[in-house]
């Protein structure tokens, strides 16, 4: 069974802006349709992905340790961390809001950290393990990345709703800023990764096998 050709064998490069498969004869620097720069592979993809991922991990620590909001009831104020807010909402019967915050603030970032680390390590090791599944995992990470902002939106909405009541008030705290930075840097990390690198090792291995067969 023959292996389908890759774009480099056909001298093609996909434009990341408009999706045009561009002919790379003469090594054009721009897409002929939209004028965006063409890259056979994203420049320094692994380095930039690691940098953004490590930055998001650093910001994730204060995002969980520092309070994200301050709740005042009848003059008495109390700061709440992300996990503390989840427990408070759950204890007061707002399990739906608690579940949304837990998924958006704890589960989603954790999944993205693990998935991106796995993708980076396997690509750097030249692994041929589960290439199709890893490509699907990368697309999944891209999709769920934007939903991490739900926690910031929930805090803003709850603060706006509570301000309508005379005896209660909610104000955002520094932790929500760090969490916003976590979301931004994990999104940048996912955007910097080049999923085509997952398949490059397979292509190079196929070439080595074909050369060995031809030599015999």
Convert the pLDDT of each residue in 22-31 to its tens digit.
Answer: 888 887 888 8
Mean pLDDT of the chain: 77
CA distance 149 to 103: 11
* 141-175 pLDDT, tens digit each: 888 766 666 656 666 666 665 555 554 566 777 88
The reported pLDDT for the residue numbered 206 is: 44
Identify whether the C-beta of residue 56 lies closer than 8 Å to the C-beta of residue 186: yes
The reported pLDDT for the residue numbered 207 is: 44
CA distance 135 to 177: 31
Domain edges within the chain: 1-40, 44-215
The reported pLDDT for the residue numbered 92 is: 76
The parts of the chain modelled with pLDDT lower than 50 are: 1, 167, 204-216
The reported pLDDT for the residue numbered 50 is: 95
- The backbone region for 44, taken as left when phi is positive above 0, alpha when psi lies in -120 to 50, beta otherwise, is left
The reported pLDDT for the residue numbered 113 is: 92
Nearest to 117 by CA among 170, 54, 59: 54
């Amino acid at each position: 069974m023959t292996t389908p050709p890759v774009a480099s064998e056909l001298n093609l490069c996909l434009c990341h802006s408009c999706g045009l498969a561009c002919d790379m004869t003469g090594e054009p620097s721009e897409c002929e349709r939209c004028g965006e720069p063409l890259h056979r592979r994203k420049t320094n993809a692994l380095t930039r992905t690691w940098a953004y991922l490590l930055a998001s991990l650093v910001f994730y620590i204060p995002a969980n340790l520092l309070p994200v909001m301050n709740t005042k009831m009848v003059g008495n104020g109390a700061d709440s961390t992300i996990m503390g807010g989840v427990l408070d909402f759950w204890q007061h019967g707002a399990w739906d809001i608690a579940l949304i915050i837990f998924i958006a603030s704890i589960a989603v970032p954790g999944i993205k950290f693990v998935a991106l680390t796995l993708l980076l390590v396997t690509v750097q090791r030249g692994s041929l393990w589960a290439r199709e599944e890893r490509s699907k995992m990368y697309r999944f990470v891209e999709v769920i990345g934007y939903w991490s902002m739900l926690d910031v939106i929930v805090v803003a909405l709850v603060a706006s709703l509570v301000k309508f009541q005379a005896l209660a008030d909610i104000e955002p705290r520094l932790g929500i800023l760090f969490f916003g930075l976590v979301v931004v840097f994990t999104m940048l990390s996912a955007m910097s990764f080049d999923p085509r690198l997952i398949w490059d090792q397979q292509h190079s291995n196929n070439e080595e096998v074909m050369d060995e067969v031809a030599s015999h």
